[in-house]
Amino acid sequence: MSILTVQNVSFSYHTVQEEVQALRNLSFSVEEGEFVGIIGPSCCGKTTVLNLLSGLFTPTEGEILLRNAPIRKSASRIGLMPQRDQLFAWRTIEKNVCLGLELLRENTPERKEYAIGLLRKYGLGDFIKKHPSELSGGMRQRAALIRTLVIQPDLLLLDEPFSALDFQTRLSVCDDVYKIIRQEKKTAILVSHDINESISLCDKIIVLSKRPATVKEEIPVEISRELTPLQKREDKRFNQYFKKIWSLLEDTNDCGTSKISKKE
């Protein structure tokens, strides 16, 4: 059953110099419990897709349905995990992960207990009263994911969440995040430009064309979900997927331009 449906979505943004079409007739769907990757060339409109999916932008045309309701009016929740952990330096880890609860006015003792339970479950029990500066990069990223999970979102949006980490930490945090999302049975969308990361994490990869972005191809990743991202990298099909996605991106690796009008 589809949890998210993106139907013929187009989006344009305006500057004083020009109107730029970022997306054109973008359509795809995401099933409940699925981990979907969105990958595309630089400046193809990945961030625009993310802003639309998180309800911060409204499509110029088309619609986005979350559990069959328009995303901006939907009672369903979306959790966003940004590129950097964006933990607030002046808050303790406990207060950081409860930020969403405060904003949604759901800061009840039960929900707080749930948040603390998640911190303990995923190895941050000793750091509840610490500040972010006292945690390693990987721990901070885990705390950021828990902050997203605490609001019990229907859909998780991951915006290149490992890009700020060094390679070794990245591999280990990638495993952690995958494990947490699978254990909590969440539906997630990963927006990334990293092909390896997308294959190792996702059940399906949507390759976008250059701007104005549209779906170039949807590639199901048929490597067992039971394997960790690191184990998936050792699967013989991993390289085939990589080559396929790379060839699709090769045609589109420049910043496409799609100026609708230009001011004289």
| Binding interface with other proteins (CB under 8 A) | 51, 54-56, 78-80, 82-84, 86, 88-90, 99-100, 102-104, 131, 133, 151, 157
Supply the minimum distance, in Å, between the C-beta of residue 235 and other proteins: 34
Q: How far apart are CA 93 and CA 146, in angstroms?
A: 10
User: The tokens of 164 are what?
Assistant: 């700020």
Residue 252 φ/ψ, nearest 5 degrees:
-125, 25
Work out how close the CB of 188 gets to other proteins at its nearest, in angstroms, rounded to a whole number.
15
Q: Closer to other proteins at the Cβ: 133 or 168? A: 133
The token pair that represents 244 in the structure block = 């396929």
Smaller CB distance to other proteins: residue 133 or 224? Answer: 133
User: What is the signed CA dihedral for 6, 8, 9, 15, rounded to 10 degrees?
Assistant: 160
The answer to whether 208 and 217 have CB atoms below 8 angstroms apart is: no
Which is closer to other proteins, CB of 144 or CB of 195?
144
| Rounded least distance, CB 202 to other proteins, Å | 21
In the complex with other proteins, the residue whose CB is nearer, 77 or 182, is 77
On the CB side of 252, CA atoms within 13 Å amount to 24
In whole angstroms, how close is the CB of 184 to other proteins at the nearest point?
18
- Nearer of residues 101 and 207 to other proteins, judged by Cβ: 101
Query: Shortest approach of other proteins to residue 97 CB, angstroms?
Result: 12
Cα 12 vs. chain centroid, distance in angstroms?
Answer: 22
